[in-house]
Copies of this chain bind each other. A is one copy, B any other.
């Protein structure tokens, strides 16, 4: 731990799904005092071996100073905080700060924020950029909004959890920032499909084009970790077209509310809709590639090239540069 004091704050964690578990373990391994709750307790148990306290009910977290939540969606998040057995259910005590990284609708978050504020509990919205592999590589980032005074206390823990956090203001702004992130993601996913197919029809292997793009100024963690899917045609779901469309739809709602035209995002959204319309609802949104190939008269076959998601290499580079494990 960078700073011995980090271990003095009593922390809580709610939700040990795939990402939540991985994140919580980073806090425990860094020496934090962490109490963990998960609806299915067995999934949280292994954290006890690392040094966490696993509790049986949410109310046992009422005296934790900062509680992190990462659950399934808006309804679960409201239940966890405002429910009859939720974090605010004890009349005498409650966490000072709740940090939520669940994917929730801005309205749900705003409702929780209001009710929490009445109990003098600060809610920080803290959506993330990344998937479980990104977490494992220590490269997850957070975007945070809510009471400014609460942020400095939480920031050191977010730094332990990943590769950094950005505070973007009061209220639900972090939710907006995450939606903007996903608008860009949808656009880039389709643009990659377009250029990969164009290049392949021009005689360039997908692995080669993507190696070039990944090393170029346009390369991102996203282009790198989608590379195996686009090369190997592995469409096992990391994020379905239906979930991506949900974020785009939310983005367009906000764009209409704020009077912002989005021509490129709109074009991407209709292609994603066509992936869904053609029935690819359960697979990864990387099916965009498949649709693009069909529209170009190209039959795709998996390529045999050795490719990685680039995250291991990047994690090592960052570790070397900063001298710390991520």
Could you tell me which A residues sit within 8 Å of B by CB distance? 129-131, 134, 139, 141, 143, 163-164, 166-171, 173, 176-177, 180-181, 183-185, 187-188, 190-192, 194-199, 201-205, 208-209, 211-213, 215-223, 225, 245, 249, 251-252, 254-256, 258-271, 273-274, 276-279, 292, 294-297, 316-322
Contacts and interface: CB of A to CB of B under 8 A. Distances in A.
A299 B49 CA distance: 55
Given A166-B208, A217-B222, A219-B221, 14 more contacts: A141-B217, A176-B199, A177-B199, A185-B218, A187-B187, A187-B188, A187-B191, A194-B263, A201-B260, A259-B273, A259-B297, A261-B270, A263-B271, A317-B320
Nearest to A129: B216
A264 B297 CA distance: 18
The 10 closest A-B pairs by CB, nearest first: A129-B216, A317-B321, A180-B195, A320-B321, A267-B267, A201-B258, A217-B221, A274-B295, A261-B273, A166-B212
A271 B200 CA distance: 20
Contact of A212 (B143, B222, B318): B143
B264 A190 contact: yes
Nearest to A163: B215
Contact of A169 (B164, B203, B260, B292): B203
22 contacts: A141-B212, A166-B208, A168-B199, A177-B204, A180-B209, A181-B213, A183-B198, A187-B191, A187-B264, A188-B191, A194-B263, A197-B260, A198-B262, A201-B259, A202-B254, A217-B222, A259-B273, A260-B277, A260-B295, A260-B296, A266-B269, A278-B294
